[in-house]
Amino acid sequence: MCTDTGCRVCGSTGVYEAFVEEVRKARLGRRVEVKATGCHGYCEKGALVVIHPEKILYVQVKPKDVAEIVSKTLKRCAVVKRLLYKDPESGERIVHEGDVPFYQKQMRVLFGNNTRIDPCDITDYIACDGYQALRGVLETMNPRKVIETVIRSGLRGRGGGGFPTGIKWRSARKAKGERTYVIGNADEGDPGAFMDRSICEGNPHSIIEGMLIGAYAVGAEEGIIYVRDEYPLAVETLTTAITQAYECGLLGRRILGSALTFDISIMRGGGAFVCGESTALMASLEGKMGEPRAKYIHTVEKGLWNQPTVLNNVETWANVPRIFLHGVDWYTSMGTGDVSHDPWGGSKGTKVFSLVGNINNTGLVEVPMGISLREIIYEIGGGIPGGKEFKAVQTGGPSGGCLPESQLDLPVDFDRLTEAGSMMGSGGMIVMDEDTCMVDVAHYFVDFLKDESCGKCLPCREGLRALSEILTRITEGNGRSGDIKLLQELSETIIGTSLCALGSTAPNPVLSTLRYFKKEYISHIRDKRCPAGVCKALIQYRIDAIACNGCHACFKVCPADCITGEAKEIHVIDQDTCIKCGSCYEVCRFDAVKR
């Protein structure tokens, strides 16, 4: 059962304890093992319990349900029907995990083992072929061959940039320095994203194994995992995992009898979004202020303490053992493009997205590259709740772009998403329904980035402030006729001159909404109207005298007491005191409240 952060919120700790207790009471201890695992992905339906080997999935389990599961399923092999997943369309109950639509289209290369592994027990990982890839590498390959393999696999960085990992390693190997560092980036500051956390909490050894292979390839002896401090559980699991790896001789000196020596330590980040950026992260590791510096000399040559440094996202690291375990051909069979000659030629493998927003199935989904956004949103995500229309999906974290319905058939691929004005980023995916105002969305993200900018360079610091100021003005109904052009001009300079990628991608939300939803900007500026009815300054609620039958419902819900009218009489909203909360609009069953 999942005891990761998402399910913990749904009470999975209690469920776990109940299981231990019930299994003990039922004297099943020798035949049944209760295992607390990492995230399964389907956080929407937590707490999740999977019964192996049949893979029976129980969703939304509460501690009080445990006795029944034990007595029925564990003792008598019968399923507890009411706890099974119910298909929202057909109403059918689905027994097996693999048949649930949420899992069907996924390809769980990294997360597959999460449902079987206790992250705090290294033997579980080893039982699932863990550290076999490392052994194979140490026994049969020289570092050059390792790097070549990674290049041929077409693995590209999962942290945002999509830079070919093998190429990075090769440059680091070539770079001159006293020592080389290997770093895992688990800073994950994007709002709404939690895939890195789930890997750290669910399968920490896959990261360690990946880093060991990387260290062997580039000749590093020291590794660091940089975890944000807001992830206490991840820090705890990683610490346990590292300790166990040392105990098993998988870290330290002469690993597995080879000449490889490698140490890993954990550093905790202070929670600044910009510290996920490579140079800021290294500055922060050096104890300096977490602000980026120019990368005209790459960090693979002069990174941490001015030494060659390989920084990869933890998801990238977790991919590495998989490639060596199952081979390059297997890996390149997933994804788009052709990477046999050029690692930039396509996107291979899988990608984990955290699917959130106005969508039925929120959670973590791992899909093969090249799957369309439509499949992710409608087949895995189960579509938009409440029968609402889809409006846009934002991929790539706060500085990603918003893509409309017309782009839904776009394959998930580093280059195609960039062409469409968005990006893969680290894998955030926010779905928005028809009630979303795109100007407001752009404003929200620009504000986030404005607050997270380190403030070192002028275009990002002042430029984002100016962007935010213009967007505020537009959403408040004070937009001016030249504002769209001004937004574009400013964005261009911010992109062209910012020091780091925070600044140079920050205008994406503005530019992409301008590209696909320009009409909304125009109605805000010219007609002083917010089509989605979100921008408070631009909406007015009033009651249609003909449609109102005096049911008095709105009168009762209005928190500002600004509706007057007796029962069975026509009601009126006092515009001066109305706070535009929309409660009356929601409650009126006769469509008499107009917006």
Which residues of this protein are in contact with ligand FMN, per CB under 6 A? 157-161, 163, 185, 187-189, 273-274, 276-278, 311-313, 316, 426, 500-502
Q: What are phi and psi of 379, to 5 degrees?
A: -90, -45
**Which residues are bridge partners to 58 per DSSP?**
49, 84
Burial of 77 (0-12, 13-18, 19+ CB in 10 A): exposed
Give the number of other Cβ atoms within 10 Å of residue 491's Cβ: 20
Residues 290-319 that bind other proteins (CB under 8 A): 291, 293-294, 296-297
Strand blocks (E) in 475-521: none
For tokens 């986030």, name the residue. 448
Residue 462 sits in the site that holds other proteins (CB under 8 A): yes
- Least separation, in Å, of the C-beta of 451 and ligand SF4? 11
Residues 263-292 that bind other proteins (CB under 8 A): 272, 274, 289, 291
- Least separation, in Å, of the C-beta of 523 and other proteins? 23
Residue 502 sits in the site that holds ligand SF4 (CB under 6 A): yes
- For residues 372 and 497, which CB has a smaller minimum distance to other proteins in the complex? 497
* Contacted by 450, from other proteins, ligand SF4, ligand FMN, none: CB < 5 to 8 Å by type: other proteins
Residue 452 sits in the site that holds other proteins (CB under 8 A): yes
- Least separation, in Å, of the C-beta of 26 and other proteins? 56
Cβ pair 244, 204 in contact under 8 A: no
Residue 130 sits in the site that holds ligand SF4 (CB under 6 A): no
Question: What x/- string results for residues 491 through 510 when contact with other proteins is judged by CB under 8 A?
Answer: -xx--xxxx-----------
Q: How many helices (H) and strands (E) does the chain have?
A: 25, 19
Q: How far apart are CA 14 and CA 63, in angstroms?
A: 6
N-term to C-term CA, the chain: 47
451's tokens: 């607050």
Single out the residue of 532, 528, 356, 533 nearest to residue 434, CA to CA: 532
- Least separation, in Å, of the C-beta of 549 and other proteins? 48
Question: What x/- string results for residues 264 through 303 when contact with ligand SF4 is judged by CB under 6 A?
Answer: ----------x----------------xx-----------
Cβ pair 71, 27 in contact under 8 A: no
Residue 500 sits in the site that holds ligand SF4 (CB under 6 A): yes
- Least separation, in Å, of the C-beta of 125 and ligand FMN? 21
* Contacted by 163, from other proteins, ligand SF4, ligand FMN, none: CB < 5 to 8 Å by type: ligand FMN
**Which residues are bridge partners to 85 per DSSP?**
94
* Contacted by 185, from ligand SF4, ligand FMN, other proteins, none: CB < 5 to 8 Å by type: ligand FMN
* Long-range contacts formed by 287-295: CB under 8 A, 24+ apart: 290/454, 291/454, 291/455, 291/456, 292/454, 292/456, 292/499, 292/500, 292/502, 293/499, 294/499, 295/500
Residue 455 sits in the site that holds other proteins (CB under 8 A): yes
Residue 454 sits in the site that holds ligand SF4 (CB under 6 A): yes
Binding residues (CB under 6 A) for ligand SF4: these are: 274, 291-292, 453-457, 460-461, 498-500, 502-503
